[in-house]
Amino acid sequence: MEPQLMEPRSERKGRDLIAWNEAMVERYDIERYYEHSHGIVRWLERKRLAVLHTLAATKPGDDVLEVGCGAGHVLGQFQNVNRYGIDLSEGMLARIRRRLGDTVELTRGSAMDLPFASNSFDVVLCTEVLEHVPDPAVVVAELARVTKPDGRVIVSIPNEVNIDRAKRMLRRTPILRTLLRTLASEGNEWHLHEFDLPMLRRITAGSAEIRRLVGIPGRLLPLRWVAELAPTSRNGGSR
Across all residues in the chain, what is the average pLDDT? 83
Residue 114 has pLDDT above 60, yes or no: yes
Helix, strand, coil percent values for the chain (each to nearest 5): 45, 25, 35
Query: Residue 166's pLDDT band (boundaries 50, 70, 90)?
Result: low
46-60, 97-111, 145-159, 175-189: least confident range: 175-189
In the chain, domain spans? 15-233
Strand segments, DSSP code E, in 129-221 are 147-158, 208-216
* pLDDT for res 17: 75
Note the pTM of the prediction, 2 decimals. Answer: 0.83
- Calpha distance 237→117 (Å, rounded): 10
Residue 10 has pLDDT above 50, yes or no: no
Q: Determine how many CB atoms are found less than 10 A away from the CB of residue 236.
A: 13
* pLDDT for res 101: 94
Task: Please name the fold of domain 15-233.
Answer: Rossmann fold (3.40.50)
**pLDDT tens, residue by residue, 125-163:** 999 999 989 899 999 999 999 999 999 999 999 987 776
Query: Residue 16's pLDDT band (boundaries 50, 70, 90)?
Result: confident
CA nearest neighbour of 123 among 180, 77, 176, 65: 65
- Calpha distance 72→96 (Å, rounded): 5
- Please compute, for residue 214, the number of CA atoms within 13 A of its CA located in the half-sphere on the CB side: 19
Residue 38 has pLDDT above 70, yes or no: yes
Residue 177 has pLDDT above 80, yes or no: no
Whether 220 and 150 have beta carbons less than 8 Å apart is answered as no
Residue 216 has pLDDT above 80, yes or no: yes
Residues 6 or more apart whose CB falls under 8 angstroms from that of 61 comprise 80, 81, 82
DSSP 128: S
**pLDDT tens, residue by residue, 52-96:** 999 999 999 999 999 999 889 999 999 999 999 999 999 899 999
Residue 3 has pLDDT above 70, yes or no: yes
Q: What is the mean pLDDT of residues 13-19?
A: 66
Query: Residue 120's pLDDT band (boundaries 50, 70, 90)?
Result: very high
Bigger pLDDT: 126 vs 28: 126
